[in-house]
Amino acid sequence: MDLKSKINLEKLPRHIAVIMDGNGRWAKQHGKPRVFGHRNGVRAVRETTEAAAELGVEYLTLYAFSTENWNRPKLEVGALMKLLVETLHKEINTLNKNDIRLQAIGDISQLPDSTRKALLDGIHNTRNNTRMTLVLALNYSAKWEILEAVKNLATQVSQQKLDPADINETLFSASLSTHDIPDPELLIRTSGEHRLSNFLLWQVAYAELHFSPVFWPDYNKEHLYQAIIDYQNRERRFGKISEQLVP
Ligand code: FPP
């Protein structure tokens, strides 16, 4: 039986988040510069997006550039930003054909003008699509996002628009950049690393974590299917015991 048909479509995660990792090491294995890995990573982005949409996943979030990634060599950062522009321009038609809406989380005000413009155009041009939402995390870090939410709530308290006693999980979630996106049930990280790297720290509180040894440029549909099957074979207890769970 092929992997895809082993997936229970009734129990799909609504939201899958992915830490795409290993582009640099993949390039090194091939004796090429790091940027070659990022270029080949775009194929994996396309394939994963297509597979998730075909299955009926509602949200797919990809960690494309973290706040910490600015510390990489200037040449690599420049090449990544250029690649994003190129990819966004090239793929917008495909997103529209497949009824996929593009969104972004992160401090996009700090992106180079051309990258921000390509992103905002992409978001605008796909805004009416409803089959799946593809969220790009760009210049994103969870600690930045949480601090922004805290500042926002503190301002409302100081202006006496909010009673601190009313701050609860729902209100806090609504203050994050993911306010209109459900929390991911499944978080995948590729390349054999076992870290969260400042990604969606609040939102993954109850997510199942899946670590794949595959470098991102080699990641394909079958790998995603396997991650979903593993997720479906786990028992999600949310602090309860097995006997309390409704089958
Ligand atoms: C991690 O590999 C990858 C990134 C930081 C960038 C991911 C970007 C792309 C796949 C290209 C464009 C993306 C989109 C969404 C259009 P790494 O460089 O950290 O690899 P290493 O750990 O082996 O060095």
Ligand 1 lined by 22 (C-beta under 6 Å) = yes
Q: pTM value? A: 0.95
Q: Are 139 and 107 in contact (CB under 8 A)?
A: yes
CATH of domain 12-141+184-233: 3.40.1180.10
Contacts of 65 (CB under 8 A, 6+ apart): 80, 84, 106, 137, 138, 139, 140
Ligand 1 lined by 57 (C-beta under 6 Å) = no
Q: Active-site positions?
A: 21, 69
- State the closest ligand 1 atom to the C-alpha of 28, by its place in the atom list counted from 1: 23
Sorted by where each begins, the domain ranges of the chain are 12-141+184-233
Q: Are 187 and 219 in contact (CB under 8 A)?
A: no
- Which has the higher per-residue pLDDT, 161 or 238? 161
State the average pLDDT over residues 161-183: 98
Percent pLDDT > 90 in the chain is 94
Ligand 1 lined by 83 (C-beta under 6 Å) = yes
**With 80 as the cut, is the pLDDT of residue 238 above it?**
no
> Ligand 1 centroid vs 1 CA: distance in angstroms?
33
Q: Are 122 and 102 in contact (CB under 8 A)?
A: yes
State the average pLDDT over residues 52-68: 97
Nearest C-alpha to atom 22 of ligand 1 is from which residue? 22
